[in-house]
Amino acid sequence: MARMEPCRIAVLGAGPIGLEAAVYARRLGLPVTVYERGRVGEHVQRWGHVRLFSPFAMNVTALGRAAIRADDPGFEFPSDNDCITGREHVAAYLDPLAHTTALADCIRLETQVLYAGRRGLLKDDAPPDEVRAKQPFRLLIRDAKGRERIEEADVILDCTGTYGRHRWLGNGGIPAAGELAAEPHIAYGLGDVLGDQRNHYAGKTILVVGAGHSAATSVCNLARLAEDNTATWVIWLARCTSTQPIRRIPNDPLKERDRLAVKANTYATRPDGNVEFHNQTFIEAIEPLGPDKGFRVAARCAGKDKTWDVERIIGNVGYAPDTNLRRELHEREPNYYTLGMKSQGRDSNFLLRNGYEQIRDVFRFITGRAELDLYKQDKRG
């Protein structure tokens, strides 16, 4: 498909990737609108108490810094080597960037894009890509007051991420029997176990499911909670066959990530703590036992049936892209680009730096221009 000079760019999501895409478009002189269903950095704010593995310098760009300092030359950023929390990152970078002169007038908060289609075309229509690309996208928009309207765009950059759509606990990736009914009472995200949710978990028996870094974070925080309240007990379940649930990355350049893996694996294998770990475990059913009385969880553990009665469940089994908004578009729709974590599907090994590279590639393609000088400086730096 021939490259095009887009007229109207719609960025879906005002997280780290969406804001970066928007400021890049503005720097190129392209009209852009950012649609965000919640707050700036909504997903980052939801897990904002958690410390990032990567240092500050890996999570920002020279372009973003320049946009902030264009309005406030004396703005002080965190140290490049600091590993700050998600909330601190929003306060130190994302929120200031969203309020810059470059972006403030193009961001629509509490505004959700419900569906995207092509003017005059259905998904089943099959003209050549060049023909589809000539028809603008139609976006069904819902604002904070529930009012709906249609807006159009020539290019869509889908930066909506995955954190808002959890995966399921059941064997095979589908809901376990009873999980759909129990879903409102299961924690699928990264709750602030040591902060505002301390009383919710202290002294309880908690089932944690998952073998990634989110599960490791939950287990480590619960183990710390158990040091102050010895009645707290953690049952950690994972599908893996290893006795150490968190796979370490050889010579991991992100030392904080490696430290977390080591710490979590230690809790899983030590015999004298408040954490019991079971590998080769697949959940079959979840039965609520009544209001705030917990759950009965049935599973296959190393090939044998096993049942636990627990008071809390934390499902850190990852997140999946929500593709519903583009169901009237082809899988490889021209001028529709999925960027950031959502582009990775179910792969959680994503760094913001990967998303910034995607943005450069997309704008080189859709405009035919070389990347911005500030990005070249960023690479050298």
CATH of the domain at 206: 3.50.50.60
328 and 310 together in one domain:
no
Q: How far apart are CA 220 and CA 269, in angstroms?
A: 13
Give kind and range of the element (H or E) at residue 117. strand 112-118
pLDDT tops 70 at residue 348: no
Question: What pLDDT is attached to residue 276?
Answer: 96
Confidence band for 126, pLDDT divided at 50, 70 and 90? confident
Q: pLDDT of 7-60, one tens digit each?
A: 899 999 999 999 999 999 999 999 999 999 999 999 999 999 999 999 999 999
Q: What does the angle CA 42 – CA 102 – CA 354 come to, to the nearest 5 degrees?
A: 55
Question: What pLDDT is attached to residue 350?
Answer: 81
- Dig out the tokens for 98 from the structure: 């969203």
SS3 content of the chain, % helix, strand, coil (to 5): 35, 20, 45
CA separation, residue 324 to residues 142, 156, 320 (Å): 15, 15, 12
Residue among 245, 249, 203, 254 nearest 225 (CA) = 203
Q: Domain ends where: 315, 334, 366?
A: 315
Q: Considering the domain boundaries, does residue 3 fall inside one?
A: no
- Dig out the tokens for 230 from the structure: 């010895």
Q: pLDDT of 311-333, one tens digit each?
A: 999 999 999 888 899 999 998 89
Q: Considering the domain boundaries, does residue 4 fall inside one?
A: no
Q: pLDDT of 151-176, one tens digit each?
A: 999 999 999 999 889 999 999 999 99
What are the CB-based long-range contacts (under 8 Å, 24+) for 139-147?
A: 139/10, 139/35, 139/113, 139/115, 140/113, 140/114, 140/115, 140/116, 141/35, 141/111, 141/112, 141/113, 141/114, 142/111, 142/112, 142/114, 143/108, 143/110, 143/111, 144/109, 144/110, 144/111
Burial degree of 145 (CB within 10 A; 0-12, 13-18, 19+)? exposed
Burial degree of 255 (CB within 10 A; 0-12, 13-18, 19+)? exposed
Question: What pLDDT is attached to residue 159?
Answer: 96
202 and 221 together in one domain:
yes
pLDDT tops 90 at residue 261: yes
Structural domain count, the chain: 2
355 and 289 together in one domain:
no
15 and 155 together in one domain:
yes
Q: Domain ends where: 299, 315, 331?
A: 315
Question: What pLDDT is attached to residue 345?
Answer: 63
Q: Considering the domain boundaries, does residue 117 fall inside one?
A: yes
119 and 57 together in one domain:
yes
Q: Considering the domain boundaries, does residue 268 fall inside one?
A: yes
58 and 123 together in one domain:
yes
Q: Considering the domain boundaries, does residue 2 fall inside one?
A: no
207 and 274 together in one domain:
yes
Mean pLDDT confidence for 222-233: 96
pLDDT tops 50 at residue 381: no
Question: What pLDDT is attached to residue 373?
Answer: 65
Mean pLDDT confidence for 58-85: 96
Q: How far apart are CA 10 and CA 362, in angstroms?
A: 14
Question: Quick one: what percent of the chain has pLDDT higher than 70?
Answer: 94
Q: Do the beta carbons of residue 217 and residue 193 sit within 8 Å?
A: no
Q: pLDDT of 84-116, one tens digit each?
A: 999 999 999 999 999 999 999 999 999 999 999
Q: Do the beta carbons of residue 209 and residue 283 sit within 8 Å?
A: yes
203 and 251 together in one domain:
yes
249 and 151 together in one domain:
no
Q: Considering the domain boundaries, does residue 199 fall inside one?
A: yes
Confidence band for 128, pLDDT divided at 50, 70 and 90? confident
288 and 346 together in one domain:
no
Q: What is the mean pLDDT of the chain?
A: 92
24 and 107 together in one domain:
yes
Confidence band for 1, pLDDT divided at 50, 70 and 90? very low
Confidence band for 5, pLDDT divided at 50, 70 and 90? low
Q: Considering the domain boundaries, does residue 64 fall inside one?
A: yes
Q: Domain ends where: 271, 287, 315?
A: 315
Question: What pLDDT is attached to residue 376?
Answer: 57
Residue numbers of the domain that contains 240? 171-315
Question: What pLDDT is attached to residue 380?
Answer: 43
Q: Do the beta carbons of residue 233 and residue 185 sit within 8 Å?
A: no
347 and 202 together in one domain:
no
